[in-house]
Amino acid sequence: MAAVTQDTAVSTGRVTRTFLYVVLGVFALFYLLPLYVMGVNSVKPLAEITGGNMMALPRVWTLEPWRAAWSTAQIGIEPTGLRPYFLNSILMVVPAVAISTVLGALNGYVLTKWRFRGDTIVFGLMLFSCFIPFQIVLIPMALVLGKLGLAGSVPGLVMVHVVYGIGFTTLYYRNYYASFPTELVRAAMMDGAGFFQIFWRIMLPVSGPITVVSVIWQFTNIWNDFLFGASFGGTSQPMTVALNNLVQSSTGVKEYNVHFAGAILAALPTLFVYIVAGRYFVRGLMAGSVKG
């Protein structure tokens, strides 16, 4: 994609510029506010929330809500905290991201460098799978997972996420490899390199940027998924489902501070990834939406 270097800026007066900064600033507050509210209220005792101002800084700082959210809060019927569910999410995300990325890389390689009759149709069918409402596959998937003995298990969720992630990873790698000169593949072919040697020695070494994109995208999507987790999680529910259970539980006093701490815990891995590699993330979103 085009380098982000040139401005389409027009010359503007001082009044206009002040207006621009004010609007941009207000929106920055709008985007930050919920995060601030969550953060500030997750380190307050409950009494301060129910009795005080949600915008105010804590009078008494406490990490108790975080400890509770992590290890003792009531999730469903068990007072386990979010810890085991966090672990479930990790166990689900890592293999699902790895497998779908590897498959996407190979698919993109085949679809751009080893084109065959009908390859665009194959790609079109894979691409459309990114956009289906997953409600359309919930019922048969539940039956198939049951038949395979994977219902309610982490491997079952891994399978589901790999299946519905292939479309995205294939899209990313295909668009990336499409701009990779085919003459290099031909040169390698004449040099005597085979299908996998070309992939391994020529393509992979230059696939760093798109691999970052694909991994971030898949990680975010799978970590944040709720529908599949709620439908097929069973006893291996991921973090999002557990957070929802925690927040929606109708028994006892609503411990808002614990809920906020839990919400931040659920958001931390993706936020961390976003902060570390956000630039690539944006570029990746573009690759998925702009013609490649």
Q: Does 98 bind another protein (CB under 8 A)?
A: no
Contact pattern from residue 57 through residue 96 relative to another protein, giving x for each residue in contact according to CB under 8 A and a dash for the rest = ----------------------------------------
CA distance 178 to 194: 19
What are φ and ψ of residue 91, in 5° steps? -65, -30
Identify residues 16-35 at the interface with another protein (CB under 8 A).
17, 20-21, 23-24, 27-28, 30-35
Nearer of residues 135 and 251 to another protein, judged by Cβ = 135
Of residues 66, 172, 232, 260, which one binds another protein by CB under 8 A? 260
Identify residues 126-145 at the interface with another protein (CB under 8 A).
126-129, 131-141, 143-144
CA distance 155 to 229: 12
Q: Does 150 bind another protein (CB under 8 A)?
A: no
Cβ neighbour number for residue 38 with a 10 Å cutoff: 19
CA distance 254 to 131: 37
Whats the size of the chain, residue-wise? 292
Q: Does 276 bind another protein (CB under 8 A)?
A: no
The beta strands (E) that lie in 63-222 are given as: none
Pair 66, 59: CB distance under 8 Å: no
Nearer of residues 91 and 230 to another protein, judged by Cβ = 230
Q: Does 114 bind another protein (CB under 8 A)?
A: yes
DSSP 172-189: HHHHHHHTS-HHHHHHHH
Instruction: Compute the least distance from the CB of residue 290 to another protein, in Å.
Output: 6
Instruction: Compute the least distance from the CB of residue 269 to another protein, in Å.
Output: 9
Which H/E stretch holds residue 228? helix 227-232
Size, binding site for another protein by CB under 8 A: 118
